Chains A and B, each alone.
Chain A
């Protein structure tokens, strides 16, 4: 029972970030038919830029002030906007225009490949610690709360969950309640009809690439101080978000978010099973998801074709 609580809280916190990024991936897919294979690397780039703003590329220790965290958040968001626009204009639109799907797959991967190289060349240590602006370390026992029965949870997990709830509420509000959100839904439903109605489809789609990037970066930054970060961090985050989106058939935001949470809890459960060891944390959930998709692709495909 106690272990269950620990798995749930840790898993939901990690899964919430996968889910939030996956919601962005699903939205872009429904707008353009493009699966954003480079989103993880774009997030990684922004996180590392934020890190450089806070403390430079040198070894970072100790907590950052809330002020410097906000500045870095702003810079990271700006980088995410620029990266999102560049991605759309250079790696997606030219290939969509000529209906060459292999082209944008290659374009996004080439971009991801280059960003990863850039991070590795600029940040040469094996891993970095992202400074904590809120100072969760002061809570409980060095940032770890004991819930009794040997259950320990990072205090930050609760903050991540709260932030995730806020961000998903924000996403749903933007998509369902605002003018922009209704416009995006119109484009996702029928692009030609949306164009005929006079919506600036091109601008809105480009804006969606930028906005989804910012959204993903904010989600990632909330979680960033929780674990050491490396050049692989972004790629792994992107991979799991893609898996969550795929698991939910690129469907409604709630389903996609739910798939992310399921994936996170699955990982936490495997990681907590002592006899398996942490190396299986990535293998088993991914294998299960792949088998599920290959055995029953039909459910997802219904959404993919729409």
Chain B
């Protein structure tokens, strides 16, 4: 009975959340869905409708890679082909609709894994190039193996059916396939929305906007990007499988590189950052021949010859609107209705003393660090100073797990973490900020600070987030609370403004707030005052003292000696990869070796 109570509570919670988020837009979308579901009653061309719904489904899947992960996947048509021909062969082998379609999606997902294993490691435009080559390769392979593709004629499919227990099958009409594709498309849109609001969305946004900074927050970028591509490929396979069943024919020319381009452009012009973007974009693509007919008829030109001109003007025009796409023009944008709850959560418990012993690192014969000892305790500010090239940033990278030392060891809270990566150290309460000002340009401050909580989440996995389980929703609320608190501590207003529009000082503070929302016991700050005015510097000193008062230990890399004198409890001076002096600020400032190194003996 306990289970029944739990399920009832979870459902009640979900209903309450849904009721809170329900607004007139939700009614509008529900209405639009109902009208779309009734379309076969009015429109004659059931196969055409089904094909349209399948393309919307494929575009919705593609948005996971393009919109969420920022990867320019140009192989969605090829993934559709994998699904289409898998389903075609299975149906011809006597499988039913459900089995063939699911197997097709699985195989397309596997193809996504193969392409993604390579492409997810590439940067920026090279993802586009890699997937573009993969799309052509799939087209060439289909024409080279007529046994798979059925050659120029394609493969004729038997009418699909759904297996019924006790033998026999229920025939499925194209209208039925249309409804299936429609429901799946709506489901993919809803899941994408849930993912975006949960931890995976924040992590992907961080990766999209700044992969290096995301890594320092413990986000596993390569794995997340691969996951996004696999998910989008699997949905593409689903769409391809349903499309060939609706057409009764699997024809390789329907899944060429052109299809991949169409889907990519549809996602972009609809608005890659908006849930319904793929639907709007697909609608525009479908409208191109109609507009060409209309204009061509009016001008007395053969519409087929007019179409390319209409297409280029419409598509380029829509792209020039920017990343918000047509959805942006219509005033639709991602809204956030998840309320924040005060977290009151303390950082990771236990001892958090960081001790480095004999750390050495060289890069191709250059000794960046030659055996450095350093300790950082909670509740103290330890300044690390030294001229350019003395090894400060290298030491920080090693302490935070981004680099492995050649020799020496690093201990955190008494256990060895020399080989631990950034993700594990973030969970153990140690977070670093990068030296250059790197904010995730598109995120508002609250979401930005929230990216710091991604590595901490226990219910933040893709499946829980996609299903918006009660635990995942509760955790999202709690983590937003943490992020809001972190913003409050450093004094960044939680405005509805992308981070790129904040001034330099606020961006710096936002970087600290983001690190802070991971609940660290130790913070490694690399030149937090770079480019700040003296007044800003003084303000930051106040913030650092406040953090120290909250029991956080800070390793402060700084060139600004006034700031160091103002806040540091201890100072370590690095010079050419070795510790020149260490101790209280006054003692270090009088140290003859330091005086000589700085004043040029």
Interfacial residues, chain A to chain B (CB-CB below 8 A): 33-35, 37, 90-91, 94-95, 98, 100-103, 105-107, 109-118, 121-122, 235, 239, 242-243, 246, 277, 279-280, 282-283, 286-287, 289-290, 293-295, 297, 300-301, 304-305
Contact = CB atoms under 8 A, between A and B. Distances in A.
Interface residues of B, number: 49
Given A117-B307, A290-B134, A246 B117 contact: no
B520 interface: no
A37 B308 CA distance: 18
Interface in B382-405: none
B79 to A, nearest CB: 15
A103 B136 contact: no
Interface in B293-352: 302, 304-305, 307-309, 311-312, 315-316, 319-320, 322-323
Given A102-B72, A102-B272, A117-B311, A279 B125 contact: no
Nearest to B261: A109
Contacts of A110: 261, 265, 311-312, 315-316, 319
A243 B134 CA distance: 11
Nearest to A122: B305
B308 A114 contact: yes
A293 B130 contact: yes
B316 A113 contact: no
B152 interface: no
Contact of B123 (A102, A287, A304): A304
Contacts of A277: 144
23 contacts: A98-B322, A102-B272, A102-B323, A105-B72, A105-B74, A105-B128, A106-B315, A109-B264, A110-B311, A110-B319, A111-B312, A116-B258, A235-B257, A242-B129, A242-B133, A283-B137, A283-B144, A286-B140, A287-B137, A290-B133, A290-B137, A297-B121, A301-B123
A283 B134 contact: no
B307 A283 contact: no
Interface in B48-73: 66, 70, 72
B126 interface: yes
Interface in B103-154: 117-119, 121-126, 128-130, 132-134, 136-137, 140-141, 143-145
A111 B133 contact: no
Given A290-B133, A290-B134, A295-B118, A106 B269 contact: yes
> 3 nearest interchain CB pairs?
A294-B118, A114-B312, A117-B308
Contacts, number: 138
Given A107-B316, A118-B308, A286-B137, A112 B261 contact: yes
A100 B312 contact: no
B574 interface: no
B411 interface: no
B124 A101 contact: yes
Contacts of A114: 308-309, 311-312, 315
Interface string B244-266: 00000000000001100110110
B268 interface: yes
Contacts of B262: 113
Contacts of A91: 316
A106 B320 CA distance: 10
B326 to A, nearest CB: 13
A277 B308 CA distance: 35
A121 B305 contact: yes
B312 A103 contact: no
A290 B143 contact: no
Contact of B133 (A107, A122, A286): A286
- The secondary-structure label for the interface of chain A is helix
A35 B128 contact: yes
Contacts of A235: 257
A289 B118 CA distance: 12
Contacts of A107: 316, 319
Nearest to B269: A106
Given A110-B319, A113-B265, A113-B311, A239 B136 contact: yes
Given A37-B128, A102-B70, A294 B307 contact: no
B322 A286 contact: no
Contacts of A33: 125
Given A91-B316, A293-B130, A34 B125 contact: yes
Given A35-B125, A301-B122, 15 more contacts: A37-B129, A91-B316, A101-B124, A102-B272, A106-B268, A106-B315, A114-B311, A115-B308, A118-B305, A121-B305, A283-B141, A286-B133, A290-B137, A294-B118, A304-B126
A113 B264 CA distance: 12
A286 B141 CA distance: 10
A102 B118 contact: no
A282 B315 contact: no
Contacts of B130: 290, 293-294
Contacts of A102: 66, 70, 72, 268, 272, 323
Nearest to B303: A121
Contact of A286 (B66, B117, B136, B257): B136
Contacts of A301: 122-123, 126
Contact of B119 (A37, A294, A300): A294
B323 A100 contact: yes
A30 to B, nearest CB: 13
The winner among A34, A102, A282, A283 for most chain B CB atoms within 10 A is A102
B309 A242 contact: no
Nearest to B124: A101
Nearest to A111: B312
